[in-house]
Amino acid sequence: MTDWSFPAAAAWAPPGTRETACELDAALGAARAGMRFFLGDMPELLDLLRSAPAGGRMITVCNVHMLVAAGRDRALARAMRGAAFSLCDGQPVAWLLSLLTGGRVPRITGPDLLAAMLAAPGLRVALVGGGEAVLARLARDLPEARRGDVLMIAPGHVAEGEGPSPEILAALSAFGPRFVLVGLGCPKQEKWMARAVAELPATFVGVGAAFDYAAGGISRAPRALQAAGGEWLWRLAQQPRLLRRYAGTILPFLGILALGLRAAALRRPRAPLPRRL
């Protein structure tokens, strides 16, 4: 994978502006040491992505479930450490990074990033994931001017740990996207992308359920509930099948948060986690 993200990210930030990235140390557990997080907002991210040189790389969009799962799933943790960086998708993850860095870290969610990329004029984007009906609704709502720049692929069943099929690789290669947004769910999409980056010179971004949100299959929580970290309750009300997943992540995340509080306390009055690599 091209070693692009942080020399470019650091150089991109103009003198005097806040730094754009940090790397976790072992304070949150050995499995998470080396994971890099982008600390800027959406306009900063889009500027950075537009300036990226050619080459295969991946970006993960991290919520509480993913951060917890990385402590249990070595392949997922390895994929996240190999990513150019992760975005703070979940509000609790943004709070945790704010605590560790000593500054406010904004959320950048998968649905918001999908909307921004589909709206960007001339940006060549492929979507991989979702069912035929979901992608048909997305295609229907796509502005006419963007239709030649967006490829949508419903991959069917993808086993966990499986990479892109030869047919999908051929379709992506023929289309030549600059960005591939992957909506297979965690940890399947991260492991899929870890294999895909060696095959195509594109930036792969795992966006989870973003396609379903954009197609109207899942509604977004009110902004006040999102800001309070309660978006998971809104989604649980729509998808009760997620109860087991949430029940298995809340307590472990509180443990991670306790480690973060301890790390922040031990660093004072010394500097917080560096905000640039």
Task: Take residue 61 and report the two structure tokens written for it.
Answer: 């969009």
Within-domain flag for 275: no
Within-domain flag for 33: yes
Per residue in 189-206, pLDDT (tens digit) is 999 999 999 999 999 999
Stated pTM of the model = 0.89
Range of the domain at 208: 18-213+220-257
Which residues, including other chains, have CB under 8 Å from residue 253's CB and lie 6 or more apart?
Answer: 64, 67, 68, 92
Within-domain flag for 139: yes
Within-domain flag for 121: yes
Within-domain flag for 99: yes
Query: How deeply is 156 buried, as exposed, middle or buried, from its count of CB atoms within 10 A (0-12, 13-18, 19+)?
Result: exposed
Whole-number pLDDT of residue 273: 57
User: pLDDT digit of tens for each residue in the chain (277 aa)?
Assistant: 333 333 333 333 333 334 678 889 888 999 999 999 999 999 999 988 988 888 899 999 999 999 999 999 999 999 999 999 999 999 999 999 999 988 899 999 999 999 999 999 989 999 999 999 999 999 999 988 898 999 999 999 999 999 999 999 999 999 999 999 999 999 999 999 999 999 999 999 999 999 999 999 999 999 999 999 999 999 999 999 999 999 999 999 999 999 999 988 876 544 555 554 4
Within-domain flag for 97: yes
Distance CA 206, CA 145 (A): 25
Per residue in 114-163, pLDDT (tens digit) is 999 999 998 999 999 999 999 999 999 998 889 899 999 999 999 999 99
Within-domain flag for 191: yes
Which residues, including other chains, have CB under 8 Å from residue 218's CB and lie 6 or more apart?
Answer: 209, 212, 235, 238, 239
In this structure, the number of other CB atoms found within 10 A of the CB of residue 52 comes to 18
Within-domain flag for 186: yes
Distance CA 189, CA 161 (A): 9
How many distinct structural domains can be found in the chain? 1
Identity of the residue numbered 193? M
Instruction: Write down the number of H helices and E strands in the chain.
Output: 14, 8
